[in-house]
Amino acid sequence: MNECYYDKRMDFFYNKTNTDTVDEWTGPQLIVVLCFGTFFCLFIFISNSLVIAAVVKNKRFHFPFYYLLANLAAADFFAGIAYVFLMFNTGPVSKTLTVNRWFLRQGLLDTSLTASLVNLLVIAVERHMSIMRMKIHSNLTKKRVTFLIISIWAIAIFMGAVPTLGWNCLCDITACSSLAPIYSRSYLVFWSVLNLVVFFIMVVVYIRIYMYVQRKTNVLSSHTSGSISRRKTPVKLMKTVMTLLGAFVVCWTPGLVVLLLDGLNCTYCGIQNVKRWFLLLALMNSVMNPIIYSYKDDEMWSTMKRMICCSSEDKSHDRRSSRVPSTVLCRSTDTSGNYIEDGIIQGTICGKGDLGDKGNS
């Protein structure tokens, strides 16, 4: 019968798995890393708080898509908390951690990743349901959206706790990985493959949506007397969400591939040399998302700017002409019967003839 090591500190597992605990990571190098990490985490907290506050404050954002977008910002905010905890429990400190504290450190990171991933998957399904029916508004009610958000966090917390619940190597040291000394290699393979498969599914879904909208827009453009900008707006709206997904995949895929290689026990892959950089890349995703929100949506930027400046000045009209018009949906008496074809052909949405003010809800 295998002996279990629940009462050991992490130095025991690091030594058993020959894991690099970066004893040299002290002095100026540690100070620089902590300074940069602190700056980025503060930016994550402030910027994602502004996104959530903007959705709550601006009634034009009170639609299913924006509720899910706010939840994605909440996942990024949670990621900031996980990174702060990691900063003060890594490097030489890692050796002194108890098993439970190390599980908490990694569980926070896994939970934040899962929350973002599942949230993006739900947004993909919501967009697919709406766009494929050529509807501007989603049929999701507030109760359903609330249920989805609760489910997202329930799944995220569960996935973050799986190693703690038993899928670990505390009773089988030979199965331990080198990057995560008390995680089983089999779990790392499962975790990384699962996430990479979900990445692939979402990419396929968004490519299908993008191609469908572009094809539909080209067909309708011959019947439209409005501007090219108006006819191309559905395609531009999808680019916002696809940019978010693209940033997520680019930032997280290298780290997941490294975990997969570690799970496959690749001893010649040099994963110890790149793990810190890929973790920083994952951190950058939570920094990039609020920038994408504000850059792609004029209304979001205007709301955030008014909250920062504490003024009621009118929207700025000097933004770049290449920017996508506001993706906010104007209210109507029928929130489920508006169709993209009608918006493109009639050109009367929001009284401007511009679908940009009614997309992406």
Maximum average pLDDT range among 191-195, 278-282, 319-323: 191-195
pLDDT of 339 reads 47
Domain count within the chain = 1
pLDDT of 91 reads 75
Q: pLDDT tens digit string along 286-298?
A: 888 888 877 777 7
End-to-end CA distance of the chain: 57
CATH number of the CATH domain containing 263: 1.20.1070.10
Region 298-315 average pLDDT: 70
What average pLDDT does the chain have?
Answer: 76
Domain enclosing residue 155, as ranges? 10-222+231-309
SS3 assignment, position 338: coil
Q: List Cα–Cα distances, 53 to 27, 247, 307, in angstroms.
A: 39, 23, 9
- Is residue 71, in this structure, part of any structural domain at all? yes
Q: Which residue has the higher pLDDT, 197 or 272?
A: 197
Q: How buried is residue 96: exposed, middle or buried, by Cβ count under 10 Å (0-12/13-18/19+)?
A: exposed
pLDDT of 358 reads 41
Report the distance separating Cα 71 and Cα 343, nearest Å. 28
**Alpha helix stretches (DSSP H) within the chain:** 10-17, 28-57, 64-87, 99-132, 142-165, 185-221, 228-263, 275-296, 298-309, 340-346
- Is residue 108, in this structure, part of any structural domain at all? yes
Total count of residues recorded for the chain: 361
- Is residue 281, in this structure, part of any structural domain at all? yes
pTM score, whole prediction: 0.79
Residue type, 115: A
- Is residue 348, in this structure, part of any structural domain at all? no
Task: Write down the residue that tokens 């959206």 correspond to.
Answer: 145
- Is residue 338, in this structure, part of any structural domain at all? no
Structure tokens of 253? Answer: 């895929």
Contact call for residues 75 and 115 (beta carbons, < 8 A): yes
Report the distance separating Cα 241 and Cα 256, nearest Å. 22
pLDDT of 134 reads 63
pLDDT of 222 reads 58
Report the distance separating Cα 163 and Cα 224, nearest Å. 56
Report the distance separating Cα 86 and Cα 254, nearest Å. 19
- 355 CA to centre of own chain: 26
Structure tokens of 252? Answer: 């997280």
Q: pLDDT tens digit string along 191-215?
A: 999 999 998 888 888 888 877 777 7
Assign residue 266 a region: left if phi > 0, alpha if psi is -120 to 50, beta otherwise? beta
Residue type, 351: G
- Is residue 318, in this structure, part of any structural domain at all? no
Contact call for residues 186 and 26 (beta carbons, < 8 A): no
pLDDT of 76 reads 92
Region 184-194 average pLDDT: 92
DSSP string of 64-76? HHHHHHHHHHHHH
Contact call for residues 336 and 139 (beta carbons, < 8 A): yes
pLDDT of 32 reads 73
List residues bridging with 98 in a β-sheet: 9
SS3 assignment, position 49: helix
DSSP string of 216-244? HHHHHHTT--S-HHHHHHHHHHHHHHHHH
Residue type, 250: V
Q: pLDDT tens digit string along 324-342?
A: 444 444 444 344 434 444 4
Contact call for residues 344 and 216 (beta carbons, < 8 A): no
